[in-house]
Structure 1
Amino acid sequence: MNFGLIISYVIAGFLMIMIFTINYNVGFSNQEVTTTLIKKTHSQSVQDMIIHDIPKIGYEQYDKVGTIISDHGSVFVKADKHEISYYSDLSNDGTYEMVTWKYDPDKTPDHAQNPHVNTLYRTVGSDVTEITIGITNFEIRYYDEYGNVDTTSTAPMSTPITGSALDDIVQIEIEFEMQNDYTLNYRASDPERYVTTTWEKRFSPVNLRQD
């Protein structure tokens, strides 16, 4: 029996296993990095829309003599955990219309493979946009006093907010979570794992300042 030949086969087998493992690990890491970057891009798109809309809560277009073109009374129509509706002239073109952000935790997009993904709606006037790129949670918190925008030093108001309490809102905090649409498991036997990214920001719209 040629023990040297046997040993060489054993060593070659170990080397092949090591090469396969390294290649698999590199491929998995690349997939994870790529997926993370994609979700960050999706998250940034949603962030940009929110950062554009929320600071303009209550923004009104004035005519040349300083009279408000449209007056709907309270700025807010609805203020709840998953939905906020308010009036604003987002485009600064004299069109004062209702803007709504609504998260439906029971509406999974038809194309979604991730069962945790639901639908976020952005409505401006009659124009409805469905955001179906991995939103798994979307929460809105309201404050009737100013707090540090980087801390939770103030307690949020209880939702839903109704009646005259709507006029007490001075800050709005939005937090959302996104996940990728497919599981990213190292082994087939691993539990389902999704790349998750979160974002949170507190806003102090200038038109809600209580002088």
Structure 2
Amino acid sequence: MNIGLVTSFIVGGLLLLSVLFFNVSLQNKSQENTLATTTNETLNDLVTLISHDINRMGYQVTSSVIKTMDSNKIAFLGDIYDNDSMDTTRVTWEWKNNSFGAVSSTPNPNDYYLVRTGPTSDGNAAGEIQFPVTYFNVNYRNGQGVATSNEYLVREIEIEIMLESGESYSVTSRGDGDRRYYRTVWKRSFFPTNLNKVLY
């Protein structure tokens, strides 16, 4: 037996396995980056819209502003768009984390629709927009930063959203074929001017 030949085969085999593993790892990383980009773009669109709505909350409203204040649902009045024919309209954000809100267009079992119902820029007073999200929570606080359930005392609204990618990616470093969903979280406290103007 030629020891040099055997050694060459072993070294060549190990080198081939290393190249194959590197190639698979590179493909998985590329897939993860693609999913991350898509998920972050979706979150950016969602955050832009919900921030716009909350900041317009109570604008041109002379009566009670907040109509529903639950952890998974908030409804309020406001003049959302200046350049439309509508004045004060109702906006509702509701996370439907039940069988009726389950997202069927993606294989991610954690996705449920966050539904925004309200005016759209094209003049529809009750348009509906859906975002697949994994978690949505709203907290309401008074002027002292204490949780409140009284709509007239709300001065701060804290919103937390978590999104996961619709598709999973393989985690090869674990060696067990585990698959995960890319996850991104956003959290912000709002102090809507029209809820705080009584403090001026």
Shorter-chain TM-score range = 0.7 to 0.9
Alignment partners' CA distance in 2, 1:191 and 1:18: 20
Amino acid at match of 2:163: M
Deviation, structure 1 residue 192: 4.1
Q: Residue 110 of structure 1 corresponds to which residue in structure 2?
A: 104
Instruction: Work out whether residues 171 and 178 of structure 2, in 8 Å CA contact, stay in contact via their aligned partners in 1.
Output: no
Which among 167, 179, 197 is matched to residue 164 of structure 2?
179
The number of residues matched between the two structures is 186
- Look up the match of 2:53: 53
Measure, in 2, the Cα distance between the counterparts of 1:36 and 1:12.
36
Q: SS state of the match for residue 193, structure 1?
A: strand
How far apart, CA to CA, are the structure 2 residues paired with 1:97 and 1:112? 32
Q: Secondary structure at the match of 1:98?
A: strand
How is 1:91-106 mapped onto 2 (pairs within 5 angstroms)? 91-92=81-82, 93=84, 94-106=86-98
TM-score of the two chains, using structure 2 as the length reference: 0.86
What letter is aligned with 1:119? Y
Match of 1:145 among 125, 143, 146: 143
| TM-score normalised by the chain length of structure 1 | 0.82
Moved over 3 A (4+): 187-192
Partner of 2:41: 41
Unaligned runs of 5+ in 2: 119-124
Cα-Cα RMSD: 1.7
Q: Alpha-carbon deviation of 1:194?
A: 1.2
The answer for the alignment partner of 2:184 in structure 1 is 197
Residue type of the alignment partner of 1:51: S
How far apart are residue 50 of structure 1 and its match?
0.9
